[in-house]
Amino acid sequence: MSFTAAAFLLGTFAVAGPILAHLLARPRFRRVPFTMLHFLYAGQAEMESRRRLRDLLLLLLRCAIIVLLVLFFAGPSINTGKKQTIAKASYFLAVDNSLSMNYREGSRSLYQNAIDATAEFIQKSDEDAQFNLYPLAGAEPITELDRNAALVALRQIRTAPLQGDLRSYLSDLREAGISNPDAKIHTHIASDFTPPILQQITNLSEPIVVDSFQYEFSHPQEEISNCTIYDGDAKVGSDDTIQLQATLINDGPEPVRRTVVIRNLAQELHRFEVDLDAGEHRRIERGISFDTRPTSSYAIEIAYLEGDGLAEDDTYCMGLSIPKIESKRILVAGVNSRETFLPETAFQTLARNYPGEAIGVETITANVFNARNLQEIDLLVLTSIQQSIAQLLEPLTAFVKTGGRIVFFVSPMQSPACVQTFWEAGLLPALPQRLRSETTHTTQSPETSIENLPRALDVSALQALQNYKIGQAVLTGYYECEAKPDSLALWRLEDGPGFLYYSSLGLGSVLLVNTSADDSLGTLLKSPVSVAFCRTILGRQEPLQTHIFTSGEPIVLPKAENMKTISGSESGIQILSPNGNVLTAALTDFGIVLPPLQEIGWIKTAAEPALYAGINPPREELNLQQPEAQTLDASLHAIFQKRTEPESALQAKITTGTKPIWKQIGWVLIALILTETVVANRLKR
Amino acid sequence: MAGRKSYLDPDLLSRLGNIDLVARCAVEGFYAGLHPSPFHGFSVEYSDHRAYEPGDELRFLDWKIFGRSDKLYIKQFQQETNVPVYILLDSSMSMAFSGEGKLSKLDYGSYLAAALSYLMLGQGDAVGLTTFSETIRTRVPSKSRRTHLYTILTALQQNQASGKTRLADILHTLAETTHRRGLVVLISDLIDDAEDLHTGLTHLKFLNHDVILFQTLDHQELHLDYEGLIEFIDLESSTRIRTFTNSLRESYCEKVANFVETVEKKSREVGIDYCLLDTSQPLDKAFLAYLAKRKRLG
């Protein structure tokens, strides 16, 4: 046995303490006269012998605790008595199979160079060594291989359109050094060391100690010649076109002229030439006219016609769902401009925010409002119900029944007779009965759950209203209302009456806003919430949707209303992957959910209506910037440090075969202290 | 006077005034009292009729029967007489023990003896007192005069605990020197050899004495409620024992309970009434409880 701090062994003399205490200590007895001593004798003899035994046991325990405490601090190790076997050398080989490694120079890619360099390294290594292969993109590590198996496995690794990830490799490498300090650890990394890879290495806070470190810097011999397309998008233009956008990049050191083509699968839609300076990033936008059928799905590709070093980033895939684009005409009718100003302004704000919806807003005074005005509008906003429109009951009813929508605001100046007429005709969702000129607020959230809302209403707009804290807007005055049996109080006031009533009539619908459109609703319509409020009363408009994903991330596609699985099953739907595989995606409430794919290109739903989505390479992998060789070397050697322990010391450690036992002593010590407590406590009884 | 009467708790005695202590056995006596007597004589309680024999006193003839049947019958009466009571008070050193420093067993026994004396003398019984340890130390003969109470109280007052207990010898001596049958009241902690004690009590019972045995024990003797390390010193032999009472309490209490149970069982076997008195309990309650039980037994 050897000790790290043998001086602590002098503490063994402290054992004398409890021994002396045991020998010299005399218990103090209280003297008491008594009579029936003969009844005490028998028990006393037994008790006395037990007490002496416990005293002795306690003495031994205390002595043992002191000795073990001394040993614990002295740091003992025991000789195992035999020479330890030298552990096998472990090779940790990282192979960058990320997308950027597909860059080709001539007939060879960077990846092929990396594989060859790694294979050469394996062949030169110890025959009986253990190999661990770490593909950096997508694949799981392949560990504990012999040399031949490692060579076979290396050739089976393929590149993946993913970003390289060194975390698993670095973590296992560090763990191996800690868990088996006697084993020799050799490392090899073959990569192009693009910024994402290099950053993961340089971000390490502590260096990793290894016995040897080598790396293969796979980089093109000549200057990079590559152009990239990424960050595509689409939006509805103001001229009935779809504006397609993308960013074009020239990674090379020279200006280039490239031809860009926009396709819908095989059908070419547009072609143009673009001159890109060295290192230039240019955002391009092109308006394309599409058939304005009901919602259609397109597979839009924006691609360079000419090839370059990295082919995978020459085409950008973008799925598009283009809704039927229809203009919306809104007419705001009121007693005067003061009454109509705020609603008109709010709808104009909405129109500006959604130019693709072609929302047109007009105002008219109620006394000149007639049936002809109804022929060209989709939404009528009546800021007060005046007697002058009472004769329009029939045209208004017909307008709603044929798909129009009327929004009524209550007003102190409204005509009760006209209101009653409209109510009896079923045109009002609620009857305003008695005016309450009090300050009030709406509740914080909708009265009706989102799931139960009619399709004609915009659910997301209602949610937005909730997010804008509509309940904090101050409203001055409202009516106590009697609601129609089939109407919905979408939102309520704090005092109980509805704030926003809705009911459907024929193909259309009517809404009643239970406060005046001028001052009372002013705080609401002047605030950012006005857009969501106007969107709520205007109704749903299907947006233009792009379906663009990155390889390696989960894919969620919108679910069409009447979409069913190809097999009739409700739980799954079949998807054609970019490589032509048929996959089964989950059909959930949120949409069609597919696990991450390690492919790039198009996916298409097999069920009708078909839906396309584009899967593009990760943006980080498109940065082909190469580090300086010297900088790279310095960075890598700062992280991967060679073991400095002299060979003789390692050899001595191996031959002596000592094993520290302080942990075991610590556990025994804890057990003895607990036992001593129990025994000492028992002795008192 | 006040000191003499200190053993007679007025409250206790006022309660005893309503209780009749009736001896189970009829003994002969010289004075009429409440105790039933085997001798028919002067009494008011009718017993039986018998045919007249020459020599009988004519005043006991039942003239009514003679008038109806023309036959002579003598009326017999059950005579109620007094009974000699021998109170034996153990005054050995062990009786001086008072576990909680309040009332020693000897004091407690003295109270009991005084109370009994008052009661018996009030009924016209003759009461005597014997105090003893290894030998008989004081012997007050049985007398039925009311003023005899002061003699007994004086003897109790002057009594001091000393010496060892030799109960068996004392009981044999008393049996041999007491010729008249009566009621023997033994007040002691009975810390002696159980077999010897049984022999002595059997001797008394053999002579047709009615024996009542009051075993007075301190609360500590019964329960050993001491805490911690204690060196016990025997009051009679001065022997010592060191112990940790918490460890012994259970076995000690078990042994004491067995001892008490043995004494009680053997007493019952020979027809002796046994009553265990804990000195921590009020004297009157223990005494009254016993008297009530005695009365139920007839």
Residue B43 confidence (pLDDT): 43
Q: What is the mean pLDDT of residues A508-528?
A: 76
Q: What is the mean pLDDT of residues A481-493?
A: 86
Smallest CA–CA separation between B115 and chain A, in Å?
26
Q: What percent of chain A has pLDDT over 70?
A: 89
The tens digit of pLDDT for each residue in B146-203 reads 788 788 888 888 888 988 888 888 888 888 887 777 888 899 998 877 778 888 888 8
Residue in A with minimal Cα distance to B236: A35
Residue B46 confidence (pLDDT): 61
The tens digit of pLDDT for each residue in A338-373 reads 788 888 888 888 888 877 777 889 888 878 888 888
Q: Least CB-CB distance to A41: which of B233, B241, B256?
A: B241
CB contact under 8 A, B247 and A36: no
SS3 label, residue A55: helix
Contacts of B191 in chain A (CB under 8 A): 35-36
Residue in B with minimal Cα distance to A51: B244
The tens digit of pLDDT for each residue in A284-304 reads 998 888 765 555 788 899 999
Q: What is the mean pLDDT of residues A70-86?
A: 69
Which residues, other chains included, contact B76 with Cβ-Cβ below 8 Å and sequence gap of 6+? Answer: B40, B46, B47, B48, B49, B50, B60
Cα separation, A263 vs A317, whole angstroms: 10
Residue B61 confidence (pLDDT): 82
Q: b/e for A416-445, b at 16 or more Cβ within 10 A?
A: eebbebbbeeebbbbbbeeeeeeebebeeb
Residue B149 confidence (pLDDT): 79
The tens digit of pLDDT for each residue in B126-138 reads 889 999 988 888 8
Q: What is the mean pLDDT of residues A132-137?
A: 90
- Which ranges of A297-433 does DSSP label H, i.e. alpha helix? 337-353, 393-401, 416-424
Place of tokens 């265990």: B276
At residue A379, does pLDDT exceed 70? yes
**Which has the closest alpha carbon to A365: A339, A387, A342, A391?**
A339
Q: What's the pLDDT band for A568 if we cut at 50, 70, 90?
A: very low
CB contact under 8 A, A32 and B251: no
**Which has the closest alpha carbon to A335: A439, A412, A404?**
A412
User: Residue A117 is encoded by which pair of tokens?
Assistant: 């360099």
CB contact under 8 A, B191 and A36: yes
Q: What's the pLDDT band for B269 if we cut at 50, 70, 90?
A: confident
Contacts of A44 in chain B (CB under 8 A): 241-243, 248
What's the ipTM? 0.72
Residue in A with minimal Cα distance to B259: A39
Interface test with B, best of A34, A44, A54, A685 (most B CBs within 10 A): A34
Q: Least CB-CB distance to B251: which of A36, A43, A685?
A: A43
CB contact under 8 A, B231 and A40: no
Residue A348 confidence (pLDDT): 87
Residue in A with minimal Cα distance to B246: A685
- Which ranges of A371-517 does DSSP label H, i.e. alpha helix? 393-401, 416-424, 459-467
**Which has the closest alpha carbon to B235: B98, B102, B101?**
B98
- Decide: residue A107, CB within 10 A, 0-12 exposed, 13-18 middle, 19+ buried: exposed
Cα separation, A462 vs B56, whole angstroms: 132
The tens digit of pLDDT for each residue in B90-121 reads 999 999 988 876 778 888 888 788 777 877 77
pTM of the model: 0.48
Q: Least CB-CB distance to A34: which of B189, B234, B259?
A: B234
User: What is the enclosing helix (H) or strand (E) of A155?
Assistant: helix A147-156
At residue A33, does pLDDT exceed 80? yes
Residue B30 confidence (pLDDT): 27
Specify which residues A317 forms β-bridges with. Answer: A301
**Which has the closest alpha carbon to A645: A173, A184, A205, A214?**
A184
Residue A247 confidence (pLDDT): 92
B257 touches A57 (CB < 8 A): no
Going through A61-137 in order, the beta strands assigned E by DSSP cover: 76-79, 90-95, 104-105, 108-109, 130-135
CB contact under 8 A, A34 and B228: no
At residue A628, does pLDDT exceed 60? yes
Contacts of A40 in chain B (CB under 8 A): 232, 241, 243, 248, 252
As a whole number, the mean pLDDT across chain A is 82
Q: What's the pLDDT band for B19 if we cut at 50, 70, 90?
A: very low
The tens digit of pLDDT for each residue in A230-268 reads 888 888 776 677 888 999 998 888 899 999 999 888 788
Higher-pLDDT residue of A157 and A358 is A157
Cα separation, B90 vs A364, whole angstroms: 128
- Decide: residue A674, CB within 10 A, 0-12 exposed, 13-18 middle, 19+ buried: exposed
Q: What's the pLDDT band for A645 if we cut at 50, 70, 90?
A: low
Interface test with B, best of A26, A39, A53, A54 (most B CBs within 10 A): A39
A268 touches A301 (CB < 8 A): no
Residue in A with minimal Cα distance to B93: A35
Contacts of A51 in chain B (CB under 8 A): 244, 247
CB contact under 8 A, A37 and B234: yes
Q: Is the dihedral of CA B156, B162, B168, B170 positive or negative?
A: negative
Cα separation, A605 vs A616, whole angstroms: 17
Q: What percent of chain B has pLDDT over 90?
A: 5
At residue A100, does pLDDT exceed 90? no
At residue A443, does pLDDT exceed 90? no
A389 touches A382 (CB < 8 A): yes
CA separation, residue A317 to residues A264, A554, A601, A616 (Å)? 10, 16, 6, 6
Count Cβ–Cβ pairs < 8 Å, chain A vs chain B: 81
Count how many residues are written for chain A: 685
CB contact under 8 A, A44 and B230: no
A447 touches A497 (CB < 8 A): no
At residue A647, does pLDDT exceed 90? no
Q: What is the mean pLDDT of residues A144-155?
A: 88
Which residues, other chains included, contact A137 with Cβ-Cβ below 8 Å and sequence gap of 6+? Answer: A96, A97, A98, A99, A159, A160, A162, A163, A164, A165
- Ranking A13-17, B117-121, B157-161, B259-263 by mean pLDDT, the lowest is B117-121
Smallest CA–CA separation between B293 and chain A, in Å?
29
Residue A175 confidence (pLDDT): 83
**Which has the closest alpha carbon to B95: B80, B81, B76, B108?**
B108
Secondary structure string (H, E, C) spanning chain B? CCCHHHHCCHHHHHHHCCCCCCCCCCCCCCCEEEEEEEEEEEEEEEEEEEECCCCCCHHHECHHHHHHHCCCEEEEEEEEECCEEEEEEECCHHHHCCCCCCCCHHHHHHHHHHHHHHHHHHHCCEEEEEEECCCEEEEEEEECCCCHHHHHHHHHHHCCCCCCCCHHHHHHHHHHHCCCCCEEEEEECCCCCHHHHHHHHHHHHHCCCEEEEEEEECHHHHHCCCCCEEEEEECCCCCEEEEEHHHHHHHHHHHHHHHHHHHHHHHHHCCCEEEEEECCCCHHHHHHHHHHHHHHHC
Q: What is the mean pLDDT of residues A194-199?
A: 86
Q: What's the pLDDT band for B290 if we cut at 50, 70, 90?
A: low
SS3 label, residue A30: strand
Amino acid identity of residue A683, one-letter, is: L
Q: What is the mean pLDDT of residues A389-407?
A: 87
Cα separation, A295 vs A283, whole angstroms: 27
Q: Least CB-CB distance to A685: which of B231, B242, B246?
A: B246
Contacts of A29 in chain B (CB under 8 A): 229-231, 242
Q: What is the mean pLDDT of residues B50-60?
A: 79
Place of tokens 């208004």: A396
Residue in A with minimal Cα distance to B238: A33
User: What is the enclosing helix (H) or strand (E) of A557?
Assistant: strand A555-557
At residue B41, does pLDDT exceed 50? no
**Which has the closest alpha carbon to A497: A570, A438, A413?**
A438
Instruction: Show the CA angle centred on residue A234, arms to residues A233 and A238, nearest 5°.
Output: 145
Residue A560 confidence (pLDDT): 66
- Ranking A61-75, A112-126, A557-571, B83-97 by mean pLDDT, the lowest is A557-571
Cα separation, A320 vs A236, whole angstroms: 11
Q: What is the mean pLDDT of residues A430-450?
A: 81
Q: Least CB-CB distance to A28: which of B229, B255, B256?
A: B229
Residue A368 confidence (pLDDT): 83
At residue B42, does pLDDT exceed 50? no
Q: What's the pLDDT band for A411 if we cut at 50, 70, 90?
A: confident
User: What is the enclosing helix (H) or strand (E) of A587?
Assistant: strand A582-587
CA B281 to chain centre: 19
